[in-house]
Amino acid sequence: MPKKLFLAGLIALFANSCAAQFFPQYSLDLDKGGLKAQWYSRQLHALNEPSLFEMAASPSAEVYRFLWLRSFHHPIAIRLEVRPDGTGVLTTRIASGAGGYAPGKLIRDSTRALTQADTYTALAKINSDGFWEAPNPVDDQGGTDGSQWVIEGVKDGKYHVVDRWTPSKGVAHDLGIIFAFDLAKLNLPKDEVY
């Protein structure tokens, strides 16, 4: 079977298996091919994550998520849902596969309440770092191996996504660090933080 037909078949099979639309069209890919959206959607589906893009239909929803896809380490999704009273709910999900390959199966699924103070601190950082104004998509792919740091947000009926490749600074890096280490309290070796 020719390679193009095989890939087209895989894409069609995946598209039919994942009913949620995780990302707006053309929000991630400069070439308009949609490969990143398909890759990230597959990972989010395996992590049993909801579509934040679809949540934007509710004007009262305020939700943020860090999707961390490291080439050779477990995919991680950390989601902060803001409650009307200012508290938050933090959900951390990790799959058994690798972010640059097949996602595998869900191996960690934990949820915990956040205080108003913790939630306020996270929201203040999201706003002060300029998340809502950060451009996307951008052409920052500097190699084949590394990691994708994807920050999504929903507030007041608006959806925004910021996707960066192996960032060492900037909004995706700074918010990813807060989500992974300050909020989710992940304990990872330094060589797995990339």
**Contact residues for 88 (Cβ-Cβ < 8 A; gap 6+):** 80, 81, 82, 113, 114, 118, 119, 122
Query: Could you give the C-alpha distances from 23 to 89, 96, 99, 193, in angstroms and in order?
Result: 22, 23, 18, 25
CA distance 190 to 186: 12
Q: Where are the domains of the chain?
A: 20-187
CATH 3.40.50 matches 20-187? no
Q: Which of 23, 146, 150, 129 is nearest to 76 (CA)?
A: 150
Six token digits for residue 37:
């959206």
Longest distance between any two alpha carbons in the chain, whole Å:
57
H-assigned helices in 35-138: 35-46, 52-55, 116-128
| pLDDT values of the chain reduced to their tens digit, one per residue, 194 residues | 443 333 333 344 344 445 689 999 889 987 767 899 999 999 999 999 999 999 999 999 999 999 999 999 999 999 999 999 999 999 999 999 999 999 999 999 999 999 999 999 999 999 999 999 999 999 888 888 999 999 999 999 999 999 999 999 999 999 999 999 999 999 999 999 99
Give the side-chain half-sphere CA count within 13 A for 96.
4
Q: Is 0.75 surpassed by the pTM of this model?
A: yes
Q: Could you report the per-residue pLDDT of 45-75, keeping only the tens digit for each? A: 999 999 999 999 999 999 999 999 999 999 9
Strand 147-155 vs strand 158-165: parallel, antiparallel, or unpaired? antiparallel
DSSP state of 168: S
